[in-house]
Amino acid sequence: MLYAGCHLSNSAGNLAMVETAVSIGANTFAFFTRNPRGSQAKKEDPEDSAKAVQALKDHNFGPLVAHGAYTMNLCTAEASAREFAASILCDDLRRMAALPGNYYNFHPGSHVGQGVEAGIDYIVQALKKALEPGYPVTVLLETMAGKGSEIGGKFEELKAIIDGVGSDEIGVCLDSCHISDGGYDIVNDLDGVLQEFDRVIGLDKLKALHLNDSKNPFGSHKDRHELLGEGYLGEQTFQNIVNHPVLKKLPMILETPNDLPGYAREIALLRNLQK
């Protein structure tokens, strides 16, 4: 079964997100755990979450892929900002326990001149504190485009974080736009990229996909998403992805510049690309 969905607003609650997903043909989705450009989080509603969990089971959903706020930089230079980001991470994982068995994805962060090694160490320490044993949620590091001082544009950087944390509850979400912009050629050599991922990190750590075309050419390190088939990746790349034996069972989340009707069309497109 292909698990395909998109980013949805949680403004009306968790159950409403499930219902919206069903209405557009999705059987997974992503949502921000709090304001993506800030830090404010929606008030928790255990009854709503319980109904959402049941609805997910009733409609045979695959794993959800929640997303941490863009402003949560675990390796920023300012100590107080790092501490605040770490507290957000802890709170988000605690909140995710209301939707057990799902994923929490986030951008590793930007070291802003401190150096990659120092940035990775800050990220590792924050994750070690946040990932309490027994939490029913897996944390995913997102592959990045490598712009500026971003960490996560190279598989080796993600591997260093994973090894440093030393937890089974950590994996990777591969973003198609980011990885192409970052210099991994999934258009012409998808198998080769996955072999490299397996060599460095291990395919057992690959848990989810963000499917986005790119407005920029290969290796640009710019990170600008485009509608599926309308950018430099092209429709054939996504056909290769949805039919790849390693990738086709993973939850696939659209982050294209779209609205709900557009997402419904792209979800249908992904299903139609299946052979």
| Number of compact structural domains in the chain | 1
178 belongs to the catalytic site: yes
**Boundaries of domain holding 259:** 4-272
User: Confidence class of residue 112 from pLDDT cuts 50, 70 and 90?
Assistant: very high
224 belongs to the catalytic site: no
Is the pLDDT at 133 greater than 80, yes or no? no
Calculate what percentage of the chain has a pLDDT beyond 70: 100
For 165-184, what is each residue's pLDDT tens digit? 999 999 999 999 999 999 99
244 belongs to the catalytic site: no
59 belongs to the catalytic site: no
Q: How many CB atoms lie within 10 A of CB 56?
A: 24
Mean pLDDT for all residues in the chain: 96
User: Which residue of the set 92, 157, 181, 223 is catalytic?
Assistant: 223
User: Which residue of the set 67, 82, 95, 111 is catalytic?
Assistant: 67
User: Confidence class of residue 188 from pLDDT cuts 50, 70 and 90?
Assistant: very high
Predicted pLDDT at 31: 97
User: Which residue of the set 178, 181, 213, 263 is catalytic?
Assistant: 178
122 belongs to the catalytic site: no
111 belongs to the catalytic site: no
User: Confidence class of residue 135 from pLDDT cuts 50, 70 and 90?
Assistant: confident
Predicted pLDDT at 35: 86
67 belongs to the catalytic site: yes
CA–CA dist 93, 121 (Å, integer)? 20
Predicted pLDDT at 127: 96
Phi and psi at 134, nearest 5°, equal: 90, -5
Predicted pLDDT at 158: 98
223 belongs to the catalytic site: yes
Q: Is 57 exposed, middle or buried (0-12, 13-18, 19+ CB in 10 A)?
A: exposed
210 belongs to the catalytic site: yes
> What is the DSSP secondary structure assignment for residue 107, as one 8-state letter?
-
34 belongs to the catalytic site: no
User: Which residue of the set 103, 225, 263, 266 is catalytic?
Assistant: 225
Is the pLDDT at 134 greater than 90, yes or no? no
Q: What is the mean pLDDT of residues 72-91?
A: 95
User: Which residue of the set 210, 213, 263, 266 is catalytic?
Assistant: 210
The tokens 């990885």 sit on which residue? Answer: 179
Determine if the pTM surpasses 0.85.
yes
User: Which residue of the set 7, 34, 82, 107 is catalytic?
Assistant: 107
142 belongs to the catalytic site: yes
For 215-236, what is each residue's pLDDT tens digit? 999 999 999 999 999 999 999 9
The CATH number that applies at residue 238 is 3.20.20.150
For 231-256, what is each residue's pLDDT tens digit? 999 999 999 999 999 999 999 999 99
For 56-70, what is each residue's pLDDT tens digit? 999 999 999 999 999
CA–CA dist 216, 146 (Å, integer)? 13
